[in-house]
DNA sequence: CGGATATTGTTGGTACCAGCAACGAATTCC
DNA sequence: GGAATTCGTTGCTGGTACCAACAATATCCG
């Protein structure tokens, strides 16, 4: 989708976007509350990830990429970049890092001479497993304090929210600074 | 809190690694599901933030910092860094950026000659407001597709989860490289 | 008081991340 | 067989993030 991120501000332009569901005060309140909660959540989890992952001699981005490779089998670089919402050049360099550490490998695409197939090596798979287990243990300790129905609902609702957000983004929902 | 990140060997033992609630298969499933959902959620929202914020000629981190300054009044650098879970040097440089753009300002701390007080300028407050409104509008469009009770629950549960996670981190719940 | 000790914020250094632009190579479309 | 397109890499710029070391204050304690 390549959302043409622009450094140049759209400035006053901002022509009326897709009519937001005007004047539902409850919706507005929910959105504000969600926004606030998400900010906190993301801040905290990003820190956690940095904190937990980096000591395995791998960066957070590399870990995400490795995860994608393990979970979704061999991918082309473009696929990986799309999945991570990154520019392909960034993805390429992240793979460089993984390859240097022997955690992933590039191989020729059988059907397309331009493409490469990325996959996790045995060591990569193992490392990813180890990190995942740690994060999961962490998560379990956290969740243990909640009532079963609550944590169940958390997982489910967050899943739904993530899917919806992903769908919006995927659909090019409207990058703010478009208009070229 | 300064969580001694990095290659440095584990510090003194926090003796009881909080015994993970052994063998509750349902808990394990919930944790795994949550983990998966969170990954997706964070990936997507990070992208959204990058995409939406950068076109205002401000970086995502700068925006977070600005937000903190607006919401929590004047802060010292240490406070800001702690709030963002960042090293103070990183925070300092982020503030440099904000100051250069005239969005924040450093002033002397009345009671402590070493400290600085950071606050948002008028322009900073306005910009933050503008960005916030955009993100909120976005959020509203997304939430509009959910039933009111569902989105209400989302906001609430995510809030609880964020708080719990923050509390864990704050409590030093487990610094980085576990103690082997 | 007055010297050790601690804290606050800045700077230097290193490494990584992220995007755009331009490129060579391979593929696809006439 | 060419033009146009797509795939991945590389050069560039600038932001993020850590640690270590530092000067200036502040605090503690004899």
Q: What is the DSSP string of A101-125?
A: TTSEEEEE-SS-TT-EEEEE-HHHH
Enumerate residues 6+ apart whose C-beta is below 8 A from A39.
B64, B67
Query: Given this model, what pLDDT does residue B169 score?
Result: 85
Cα–Cα separations (whole angstroms), residue B81 to B1, B62, B90, B104, B109: 10, 12, 8, 15, 17
**Minimum-distance residue to D18 (CA–C1'):** B87
- Classify residue B73 as left (phi > 0), alpha (psi -120 to 50) or beta: left
Q: How confident is the model over B73-120, as pLDDT tens digits?
A: 799 999 999 999 999 999 999 999 999 999 999 999 999 999 999 999
- The rounded mean pLDDT for chain B is 85
Q: Does A168 touch chain B (CB under 8 A)?
A: yes
Name the residues in A146-165 having a C-beta closer than 7 Å to nucleic acid strand C.
Answer: none
Lowest mean pLDDT among A130-134, A141-145, B7-11, B40-44: B7-11
Q: Do B64 and A43 touch (CB under 8 A)?
A: yes
Contact of B143 with B151, CB cutoff 8 Å: yes
**Token pair of B100 as six digits:** 């250069």
Lowest mean pLDDT among A8-12, A123-127, B41-45: A8-12
Using the structure, give the distance in angstroms from the CA atom of A77 to the C1' atom of C25, rounded to a whole number: 16
The helix (run of H) or strand (run of E) holding residue B116 is strand B116-120
**Strand intervals (E) in chain A:** 104-108, 116-120
Q: What is the DSSP string of B99-113?
A: HHTTSEEEEE-SS-T
Query: Given this model, what pLDDT does residue B170 score?
Result: 81
Q: How confident is the model over A45-89, as pLDDT tens digits?
A: 999 999 999 889 999 999 999 999 999 979 999 999 999 999 999
Using the structure, give the distance in angstroms from the CA atom of B51 to the C1' atom of C25, rounded to a whole number: 31
B117 three-state secondary structure: strand
Which pTM was predicted?
0.85
Q: Which residues pair with A164 in a beta bridge?
A: none
Q: What is the DSSP letter of B118?
A: E
Give the separation between CA B13 and CA B135, rounded to whole angstroms.
Answer: 43
Query: Given this model, what pLDDT does residue A173 score?
Result: 54
Name the residues in A107-136 having a C-beta closer than 7 Å to nucleic acid strand C.
Answer: 112-114
Would you call A149 exposed, middle or buried from its count of C-beta atoms within 10 A (0-12, 13-18, 19+)? exposed
- The terminus-to-terminus CA distance of chain B in angstroms comes to 22
pLDDT of A98 strictly over 70: yes
Lowest mean pLDDT among A144-153, A168-177, B32-41: A168-177
Q: Does B179 touch chain A (CB under 8 A)?
A: no
Q: How confident is the model over B114-134, as pLDDT tens digits?
A: 999 999 999 999 999 999 999
**Token pair of B122 as six digits:** 């008028």
Give the separation between CA A70 and CA A129, rounded to whole angstroms.
Answer: 9
Residues 101-130 of chain A with CB under 8 A from chain B are none
pLDDT of B10 strictly over 60: no
pLDDT of A8 strictly over 50: no
Query: Given this model, what pLDDT does residue B12 score?
Result: 37
Residue B176's pLDDT band (boundaries 50, 70, 90)? low
The more confidently predicted of residues B66 and B179 is B66
Percent of chain A with pLDDT over 70: 82
Nearest residue to B92 (alpha-carbon basis) of B70, B75, B110, B72: B75
Give the separation between CA A47 and CA B87, rounded to whole angstroms.
Answer: 11
Percent of chain A with pLDDT over 90: 74
Contact of B176 with A47, CB cutoff 8 Å: no
- The rounded mean pLDDT for chain A is 85
Residues 14-73 of chain B with CB under 8 A from chain A are 18, 20-21, 24, 26-28, 30-48, 50-52, 54-57, 64, 67
Lowest mean pLDDT among A40-49, B7-16, B120-129: B7-16
Query: Given this model, what pLDDT does residue A179 score?
Result: 43
pLDDT of B6 strictly over 70: no
Question: Is the CB of residue A5 inside 7 Å of nucleic acid strand C?
Answer: yes
Give the separation between CA A65 and CA A60, rounded to whole angstroms.
Answer: 9
Cα–Cα separations (whole angstroms), residue B79 to A122, B62, B72, B117: 43, 15, 10, 10
Rounded mean pLDDT of A145-162?
92
């Amino acid at each position: 989708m390549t959302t043409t991120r622009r450094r140049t501000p759209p400035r006053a332009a901002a022509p009326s976007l897709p009519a937001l569901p005007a004047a539902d005060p409850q919706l507005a309140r929910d959105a504000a509350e969600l926004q606030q909660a998400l900010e906190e959540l993301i801040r905290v989890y990003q820190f956690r990830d940095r904190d937990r992952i980096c000591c395995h001699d791998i960066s957070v981005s590399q870990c995400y990429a490795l995860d994608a490779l393990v979970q979704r089998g061999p991918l082309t670089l473009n696929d990986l970049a799309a999945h991570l919402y990154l520019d392909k050049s960034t993805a390429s360099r992240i793979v460089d890092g993984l390859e240097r550490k022997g955690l992933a490998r590039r191989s020729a695409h059988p059907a397309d001479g331009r493409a490469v197939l990325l996959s996790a090596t045995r060591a990569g798979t193992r490392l990813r497993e180890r990190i995942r287990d740690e994060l999961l243990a962490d998560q379990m300790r956290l969740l243990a304090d909640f009532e079963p129905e609550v944590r169940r609902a958390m997982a489910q609702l967050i899943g739904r929210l993530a899917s919806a957000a992903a769908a919006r983004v995927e659909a090019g929902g409207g990058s703010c600074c478009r208009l070229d």
